[in-house]
Amino acid sequence: MASKTQQLNLFEVCCLLFLCLCGGIFMVSATRVLDDADRKNGDVCSPTPYTLQEPAHFVKMLIPADNPLTEEGIELGRQLFYDPLLSMNGAVSCASCHLPQLGFGDGKAFSIGVNGQEGPRSSLPLANVGYYYKGLFWDGRSKSLEDQALIPVREPHEMNSDWSLVELKLRNHPKYPELFRKAFSITDRKEITRFLVAKAIAQFERTLISANAKYDQVLAGKATYTASEERGRKIFFDASDDLPKSECGHCHLDPLFTNLDFQNNGIQQVTSLEDFPDKGRGKITKIIYDNGKFRVPTLRNIELTAPYMHDGRFETLEAVLDHYASGGHLADNLNPNVRQLNFSKQDKIDLIAFLKTLTDTSFVQNPAFANPFNE
């Protein structure tokens, strides 16, 4: 009797397995029908590797092994970068706060998100952001571009959306499933996830290389500085004992014009390190000596990226120089390189003339970085 029961159980198990198998085949078939609708006549999906043209005078870019650059990935990233579909109300895209003509900044002291909500900081320009290996944002909270791209969608003062909703919109979009399939070899639109969105945007952002300013052309022997620019360059890099020193180059290290670090540059007067209204890097690391420290921003395209500092407190480069000449507000973690300077009016004119040689018009006007929805 026991043996008969066992046999029956074995039979039942076999039937169950068979049904499962049939169900699986049915589901896979259904998925394929869905995918076939996305495909174009048996188009073989194989993203085209993209070789980044890195400037010879730059440090090498770190590209994660799990997100190699491809032509299709970069193009998808560009579309997503400019598409307000990522936001709650379809009004805000990445490009709303990162406009090419403003050096991929937005010209505001505090960036504006959906429904006119003001963010706590200004938008960081994106020139050469692919080289930022010490963390993204003013406070370095994201370790990679892929991590960074996940954040604005759900920030209430940015896109104020929900990733599940965004994924749904993309999966049901008439165009995007095909673009994702080409970029990432997916076989089912359900494979469109926030992580692939972030990867595509990161790929596009890695191509945002600004290395054709007058500064670069002079380095390459294709241009020469004016007398004022050259004098400004020497002041900037403390390169002459006969000229005043600006101490700029300690943090704004060339050729990226940032050392990617986080510093207190003395713009905020506080009585103790606990008192910084925006703790910046300290909010992330929980180290009190990081309070009031913010990313050293790049000076590339600085002419286009006013207002300056994380809170946009300085509207002009003259105001920035005046701040540094003052030596900044003392604090236990004030960078000691921020020290009182004696600039003449001519020194400031020359320094600014040099800073303007960092404007890269070919970068801001590069059609490869432009809004594809305007094409």
Partner 1 sequence: MMKKIFFLAASFALLLAATCKEDDDFAKEVVDMNFKSTFGDAPLVMYESAYPYEAGMSVKLQLFQFYLSNISVQREDGSLVLQKDIALINFKDILTPSAATEGISLNMEGLAPGHYKAIRMGIGVAPNLNSTNPANYTPPHPLDDNYWSAATGYVFIKIEGNADTTGNGQFPAKLTFHTGANELYKEKTFDKHFELKKGQTLQLKFSVDLKKVLSKGPGDFLDFRQITQDHSNNPEVYTFIADNLYNALVLE
Residue 290 or 360: which CB sits closer to partner 1? 290
Residue 312 or 328: which CB sits closer to partner 1? 328
Angle at 100 between CA 98 and CA 103, to 5 degrees: 80
CB of 339 to partner 1, least distance (A): 5
CB of 305 to partner 1, least distance (A): 22
Residue 31 or 285: which CB sits closer to partner 1? 285
Q: Could you give the CA distance from residue 363 to residue 368 in angstroms, rounded to a whole number? A: 9
Residue 21 or 62: which CB sits closer to partner 1? 62
Strand partners, 262: 295
Tell me the CA distances in angstroms from 88 to 100, 107, 108, one per residue in order. Answer: 23, 23, 22
Residue 154 or 339: which CB sits closer to partner 1? 339
Residue 98 or 234: which CB sits closer to partner 1? 234
CB of 333 to partner 1, least distance (A): 6
The residue among 249, 269, 272 whose CA lies nearest residue 259 is 249
CB of 54 to partner 1, least distance (A): 9
Query: Residue 370: which residues within 8 A CB-CB, separation 6 or more?
Result: 100
Q: Could you give the CA distance from residue 148 to residue 140 in angstroms, rounded to a whole number? A: 10
Q: Could you give the CA distance from residue 124 to residue 307 in angstroms, rounded to a whole number? A: 11
**Contacts of range 340-344, beta carbons closer than 8 Å, 24 or more positions apart:** 341/244, 341/245, 341/246, 341/247, 342/244, 343/244, 343/246, 344/244
H helix intervals, the chain: 2-38, 71-82, 94-97, 145-148, 151-154, 163-171, 176-184, 194-206, 214-219, 227-236, 281-285, 317-326, 345-356, 361-364
Residues constituting the chain: 375
Residue 123 or 263: which CB sits closer to partner 1? 263
Residue 371 burial class via C-beta count within 10 angstroms: exposed 0-12, middle 13-18, buried 19 and up: middle
CB of 234 to partner 1, least distance (A): 8
Residue 20 has φ and ψ, to the nearest 5°, of -60, -45
Structure tokens at 201: 């945007």
Residue 25 or 239: which CB sits closer to partner 1? 239
CB of 326 to partner 1, least distance (A): 13
CB of 223 to partner 1, least distance (A): 17
CB of 269 to partner 1, least distance (A): 14
Residue 263 has φ and ψ, to the nearest 5°, of -140, 150
Residue 122 or 333: which CB sits closer to partner 1? 333
CB of 342 to partner 1, least distance (A): 14
CB of 29 to partner 1, least distance (A): 46
Residues in the site for partner 1, rule: CB under 8 A?
56-62, 133, 237-239, 241, 247, 249-250, 253-255, 259, 287, 289, 327, 330, 332-339
Q: Buried (b) or exposed (e) across 258-296, using 16+ Cβ within 10 A?
A: bbbbbbbbbbbebeebeebebbbbbebbeeeebbbbbbb
Residue 221 or 367: which CB sits closer to partner 1? 221
